[in-house]
Structure 1
Amino acid sequence: MGIPLILFFLLIGITSILLAWKKKVELLPPTIKTKVENGSWISPSEMVRIGEDEMRKLGRDPEVDRIDIRPDKGTAKVTFKTHFSEVQVDGYSGEVLSVGTRHSDWIEKVHDGSIVDYYTTGDEGAKLTYSTLVSLGLIFLAISGFYLWYYPKVIRRLKGN
């Protein structure tokens, strides 16, 4: 059972390491701090509009997935549903600080199996199937490994050795 699952275990292991180190190996664009000292924040709807406009300029789908607001840095990261880009917007001036690719987002989708859903149906069927099979495989390997380690000790004890 372990042989067919080894590819998935390797995939999960490699992507786990990449996700743990994502900031150190720059799989995310670095967060840029605002240059504005004081002021009032622009509205989230304005941030969305700025992100959409920037994607239109680049010829990419502008459908926004979420906004990650960083009050301590004075910025917001606008991410998109159909690609792994982000637009960093100054929270005070509305200036576009950077546009970059969020490599950690696609690595996370590979890690949890949702990459199949992302490119096909959009539901969570592949993610749930993948996660369940891999988890059951790991549980089986853990229990069988313990059994293979412990059972010989029981046999030796019963034989009196």
Structure 2
Amino acid sequence: MQQEKLQVKVRRLRRMRIIHRWLGVPLMIFFLVIGITSILLAWKKKVELLPPTQSSEVQRQGEWIPTEKMLAIAITEMDSRSLSSLVDRIDIRPDKGIAKVTFEEHFTEVQIDGYSGEILSVATRHSDWIEKVHDGSIVDFYFGNTETAKLVYSSATAFGLLLMSLSGFYLWYFPKVIRKTKQG
């Protein structure tokens, strides 16, 4: 009776090793991508993955130019570079006297002086594409539906991480149980 219980545990342990191994190989790629991009995003300001924020050179006594004019300036700049001019967001920085305009279909940022309308910087926001790789939305970035990709990618990797953790615990703990059972 004791021998049969032991054999059942050994068979389960062998099956779990196979499952753990076959899940681990493909999931390792996703875990590496998520880990590397997590480190890059955590350090994005230190390793300059974002363009440095400029400051207005104009004395802060005048009125800000209208937001519509800032958008028009940024759109004209993108059109001159033959890039899409669909605006994603505008980030107003009153303390710096600037506005940052980012776009939906590429990772370019235009920094505009809020007082004069002068373009202070046009640069790539590397942290934006790294974030899209990190959360899986890069897959659908070019196809339009980023929410579906995020859900599938995040759920699959989270479920995989849970399975790997549980099977890893099983593979660590049950050999101890089997050894204890054999000893006595």
Task: State the TM-score, normalizing by the size of structure 1.
Answer: 0.90
Q: Cα–Cα, structure 1 residues 22 and 123, in superposed 2: closer, same or farther, change >3 Å?
A: closer
**Are 2:51 and 2:123, in contact at CA under 8 Å, matched by a contact in 1?**
yes
Aligned residues: 161
2:54 is matched with 32
* Deviation >4 Å, runs of 4+: 152-161
* CA–CA separation in structure 1 for the residues paired with 2:182 and 2:159: 34
Higher relative contact order (CA 8 A, sep 6+): 2
Give the one of 152, 156, 159 matched to 1:136.
159
The letter of the residue matching 2:150 is: K
After superposition, the Cα gap between the structure-2 partners of 1:160 and 1:70, relative to the gap in structure 1 and judged at 3 Å, is farther
Shift of 1:153: 4.9
What percentage of residue pairs aligned between the two structures are identical? 64
Matches within 5 A, 1:7-156: 7-38=29-60, 39-153=62-176
Distance, in Å, in 2 between the alignment partners of 1:73 and 1:83 is 25
Gap change, CA 1:40 and 1:154, over 3 Å in 2: farther
Superposition RMSD in Å: 1.8
Asked if the contact 2:140–2:146 (Cα under 8 Å) also holds between the matched residues in 1, the reply is: yes
